Every structure is written in C-alpha cells, then in structure tokens.
C-alpha cells in the first residue's frame, strides 16, 4: 500500500523505463557493431586486401579472409556463412589455388553450388572472380574460370552480382572500390528481390 509520499519511484516510472530500455539496447548494439547491415565477405586471394572501413555506407563488412587457401577450405567457410542467412554475401577464391584441371573443375563446381545456396537462402551472392593476392602472377586457368563466370554462371540469375578484380591488377584501392560497388548493387538487387516476392506483386 502507498504511504503519504506515494509509490516508490520505480513504480511511477516503469512505463517510461520499459519504453527507453529497447532504445538503449539498440544504441549499444549499434555502437558495438559499428552500425550498418552485416555483409559476410568470405574467401581468399586478392579479397584479403579488404578492410572493415572499406564497406560502403549502410554496410558493415564481416571479414573472413585468407591470403592463400585451397578451394575446399574456402568453400567450407563460405557454406558456413550461408547458414547465417545474410541479405548479401561476398565470396571469392584464391586464383593461386588453381594448379591442375581438377582444381579448376572443383572451383567451378564450388562457385555454382554456392551461388545457388545463397539464393536459396533468400540472399544475393556477390561473386568475386578468382584472383591471386595482389602482385602475384595470374595463371591461364584463372582467366578460363573468370570467362566461365562472365559468360555462364553470372548470366543465369538476375539477382547475382559478379565482380571481376583482374582489370584492377595490383591496385588495392581499385579492388576495394570494385567490391564496394558490388555490395551496393547487391543491396539494390536484394531490395528488388524482396519487392518481387511480396504478396500481390
């Protein structure tokens, strides 16, 4: 029962606290994560030059990159990222991992399977062509896989974004901007994908 001075302060202001608490939690989360939509960037090769601050406005890179890695290892890490159901997922392979015809076939199979997995998870794949770390010589197999991506895999789905880093050579700044442009395109296509799946459309 209340005394002459009224109920305790926490009883008088519980509604205000209930309204403010979620805002404080969201603000703390934004501060902790840096804001923006999370974009997993998973792969190896030239992608490893990316930094968190290279993300375009409204995005936050979740970098899982290695300078050198075999196809199977990269594929496993990308598949793990797909299970997080990201709106946009950037992935690419290390071109220096192409040492044989079997490697080339494994990389093509991985690119195709991963693009489909991201789409099946209602996301947009940003597919980065295979490249070695900046400054490393490219192999003929890299160009063959890149040509297959351009003329085959990348034209098979309207919500796929493909980024070819080969024209940018050893310029890390150009590489970063090319990936950022791909991410911006990926978000635009994801918005279009969501609009196309809404009831009544």
Task: State which residues of the chain have pLDDT below 50.
Answer: 1-2, 26-31, 33, 201
pLDDT at site 197:
74
Of 198, 186, 120, residue with least CA distance to 159: 186
pLDDT at residue 14, as a whole number: 64
Task: Give residue-wise pLDDT tens across range 12-43.
Answer: 666 666 666 665 554 444 445 456 899 999 99
So what's the pLDDT on residue 139? 76
Burial class (CB in 10 A: 0-12, 13-18, 19+), 42: buried
Edge-first strand order for the sheet with 161-163 is 59-66, 37-44, 88-94, 124-131, 161-163
């Amino acid at each position: 029962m209340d005394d002459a001075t009224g109920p305790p302060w926490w009883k008088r202001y519980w509604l205000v606290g209930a309204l403010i608490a979620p805002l404080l939690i969201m603000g703390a989360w934004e501060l902790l994560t840096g804001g923006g939509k999370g974009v997993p960037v998973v792969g190896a090769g030239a992608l490893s030059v990316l930094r968190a601050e290279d993300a375009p406005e409204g995005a936050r890179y979740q970098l899982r990159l290695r300078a050198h890695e075999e196809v199977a290892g990269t594929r496993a890490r990308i598949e793990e990222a797909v299970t997080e159901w990201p709106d946009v997922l950037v992935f690419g392979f290390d071109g220096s991992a192409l040492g044989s015809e079997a490697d080339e076939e494994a990389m093509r199979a991985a690119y195709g399977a991963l693009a489909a997995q991201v789409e099946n998870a209602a996301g947009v794949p940003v597919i980065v062509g295979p490249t070695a770390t900046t400054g490393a010589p490219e192999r003929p197999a890299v160009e063959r896989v890149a040509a297959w991506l351009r003329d085959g895999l990348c034209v098979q789905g309207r919500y796929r974004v493909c980024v070819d880093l080969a024209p940018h050579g050893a310029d890390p700044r150009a590489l970063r901007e090319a990936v950022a442009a791909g991410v911006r395109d990926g978000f635009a296509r994801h918005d279009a994908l969501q609009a196309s799946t809404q009831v009544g459309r």
